Structure 1
């Protein structure tokens, strides 16, 4: 079979994640990351059981034949590896349907998904356990993220709704991004990350302290997974920043630009 060559960008944790009200759905605003992702066809075996791929193909209405995939986003890192792999497999196998159909198929496999099937995933308030858009948002202001992976990997559990209410942060986020206020956006991301750290751990996370030491505007994290990042204005990452993260135990240290001017 002839496969299409496709690449799907991952993400790097979330700007915000939590419940939309005490009993509301888990929702997130993802951090778009062009430097991590999945390509297909590739040499690696997909990280799914045959039954999962059959269910995925059935949901898409295509034959259950998929290529391998190459991945530089680690599983359990909070970088969208699972969703990006499924999207890459589907498109490589010839699926050319809607993003909504892809989201529903990803949900059928894992019970949760990131919005990586959409062209601008960081402009969406995304119900990750329901696989649909709650609201369209302005894009985050342009910035540079210095980050890496700290702590153990953690795969998403679709039944896990143990997050704080962030509906207040989402309201402020919409205002901050509309006004292109990076400082305010970074503070809101830090607030969401801090709530998650207080509730979910793990203990000893050095990211907020590194943000202060290195003069970052704020910090962010994967609310499930090990991705952690410091938020800087474009071009403002200090020269010794990457070395400081490596010394603090971060793996896979990287710097990337995200957001829109």
Structure 2
């Protein structure tokens, strides 16, 4: 059964991202972000057309390829709108694909939808899963590598810094994070938010040291505002600070804006406590 309007939540970068071993797959732990969504609405029309308010979320060719892969009929005129910038590292492109599939009536397994998205865009975020934060996800293979413990509740405030950058599926130049995974699982099982936030910051710092410009303010912002840690889009512009629930300082928005972050967003994540 088709819905008239579909909304799909994006994510806000990755709590962890890197190679699993020096030559292993690129894998990530996504940070779900209900505050940033892609919406898709359907208007009657014989042929598929896409309208995206100039955001270039998805081409008609990719939409058709996705629907063909899933065995779905092309539904008509689709209006897409994203609450996050394309290339910001907030999952806009994958969220658009998931929204189109659901608008066309997809109700099948999320893993099948993930493979269809991967076939279309070459690298995919796990936004079709309800529990993305508990998945170690191979983004270039569209596969779940491991199921991880549920995270304790936490709060994030952040924005977008620097130029946007779309994900290149062929890009595998990420640091090895295999050493972080056992610590991550142990901290999550213990509900140790401080340890998890620190591990997220370690992963972010490795990527920034390897791929960044050297002018990123995220680390100094975390220290200034007393954050437990920080999270980034390892490909993209999203930057966030991690706090205990209710722990975001009142001055945080102003400080982030003064540092050059735009599109400030604040949300809660995690599932325990």
Deviation at 1:51, TM superposition (A): 2.2
Q: Counterpart in 2 of 1:94?
A: 105
Matches within 5 A, 1:77-92: 77-92=88-103
Which structure 2 residues correspond to residues 1-261 of structure 1 after superposition, within 5 A? 3-41=3-41, 44=52, 47-65=57-75, 67-261=78-272
Structure 2 CA distance, aligned partners of 1:4 and 1:97? Answer: 18
* 1:68 partner SS: strand
Deviation at 1:18, TM superposition (A): 0.2
Counterpart-to-counterpart distance in 1, 2:156 and 2:185: 20
Q: Distance in 1 between matches of 2:112 and 2:213?
A: 35
Question: Cα offset for 1:9?
Answer: 0.7
How far, CA to CA, are the matches of 1:27 and 1:163 in structure 2? 10
What secondary structure sits across from 1:27 in the alignment?
A: strand
The answer to whether the 8 Å contact 1:214/1:241 transfers is: yes
Q: Is the 8 A contact 1:151 1:202 kept in 2?
A: no
- How far 1:50 moved relative to its partner? 2.6
Asked whether the equivalents of residues 155 and 246 of structure 2 are also in contact (C-alpha less than 8 Å), the reply is yes
- Would you say the 8 A contact 2:7–2:38 is kept in 1? yes
TM-aligned CA deviation for residue 70 of structure 1: 1.8
Structure 2 alignment gaps of length 5 or more: 43-50
Aligned counterparts of 1:147 and 1:219: Cα–Cα separation in 2? 9
Does the Cα contact within 8 Å between 2:155 and 2:267 map onto a contact in 1?
yes
Counterpart secondary structure, 1:122: helix
Q: Output one character per residue of 1:113-144: Cα deviation in whole Å (capped at 9) or x when no partner.
A: 00000111111000000001000011222111
Q: Is the 8 A contact 1:4 1:94 kept in 2?
A: no
The C-alpha deviation readout for 1:45-81, integer Å capped at 9, x for no partner, is 6622332222111111112345222210211011010
Which secondary structure does the structure 2 equivalent of 1:11 belong to? strand
Q: TM-score when scaled to structure 2?
A: 0.92
Other structure's SS at 2:201 match: helix
